[in-house]
A and B are shown apart, each in its own frame.
Chain A
């Protein structure tokens, strides 16, 4: 499996660390809404198909990435920086779809 890092280009999956489900939204840290916290910690979509994921290119540029991976085929249909501010640093825009 190859992930095309927007900074480094296509790299083997061994260079990346999975950082979890990209669909989660963390409640406000001050929130006492236990339902929301429970959903954040435990509820997962578990789709058979495209899945939003957060990966870190831990063995490369170390940025966090938003990846859409197909859980049936491992096909990666989209990779982008998880945080803004790196826009001008990307060289692989044309190759985002690997």
Chain B
């Protein structure tokens, strides 16, 4: 396989930045999943798709809109009725799903090269994200594992909470560097570290 280059590279500066004299309150990383796949069930076929996700990824989706979970290697969350994003550290997820998600059940779209996954973590993660997205980031409203579809400056993004103070943001690859720069600027006031 050809090695995938990061769109963030020219703006990806490992180390501490901004106002970090009193400590770093934000950690920014690129998670670089090998696979990012979107699955969509035809109306009435949602249960079969959820079963397929369990078979292929070993993840049992919780009930409810936007529900999801992550085992640290693979992640899944609902982003629309009957539609799910699945990410895996390794490549090949789309091919694995294509064998199980038949055309009767729904569709498989491989977005591994189309999205960039950025992780923001730390005690001020909610604070910084609230500058971008007009959604409620508080833990009771946005539980661990859950996903949200929303926009920043009219650009679409999907967000999964993968920890009490950790979020994975999936953005269009072509917008990723711009979003990353904005995220760095927004994190300056609390001090951030790029890892």
Contacts and interface: CB of A to CB of B under 8 A. Distances in A.
B150 A60 contact: yes
A24 interface: no
A83 B149 CA distance: 20
Interface string A43-61: 0000000000000000111
Range, interface on chain B: 20 to 34
A59 B43 contact: no
Contacts of A91: 64-66
DSSP class of B's interface residues: helix, strand, loop or mixed?
loop
Range, interface on chain A: 20 to 34
Contacts of A90: 65, 81
A86 B45 CA distance: 11
Contact of B82 (A14, A15, A89): A89
Contact of B81 (A7, A9, A12, A15): A7
Interface string B116-137: 0000000000000000001110
Contacts of A85: 43-44, 81-82
A60 B154 CA distance: 10
A59 B136 CA distance: 16
A44 B41 CA distance: 36
A89 B148 contact: no
Contacts of A11: 134-135, 150
B79 interface: yes
Interface in A2-54: 6-9, 11-12, 14-15
- The listed residue with most B CB atoms (<10 A of its CB), out of A6, A84, A85, is A85
Contact of B65 (A14, A59, A92): A92
B80 A63 contact: yes
Given A8-B148, A15-B151, A59-B156, A89 B81 contact: yes
Interface in A60-98: 60-63, 81, 83-86, 88-92
26 contacts: A7-B66, A7-B80, A7-B81, A8-B66, A9-B136, A11-B150, A14-B134, A14-B154, A15-B150, A15-B151, A59-B150, A60-B151, A61-B80, A61-B83, A62-B80, A84-B43, A85-B43, A85-B82, A86-B43, A86-B81, A86-B82, A89-B46, A89-B65, A89-B78, A91-B66, A92-B65
Interface of A: 6-9, 11-12, 14-15, 59-63, 81, 83-86, 88-92
Interface of B: 43-44, 46, 64-66, 78-83, 134-136, 141, 148-151, 154, 156
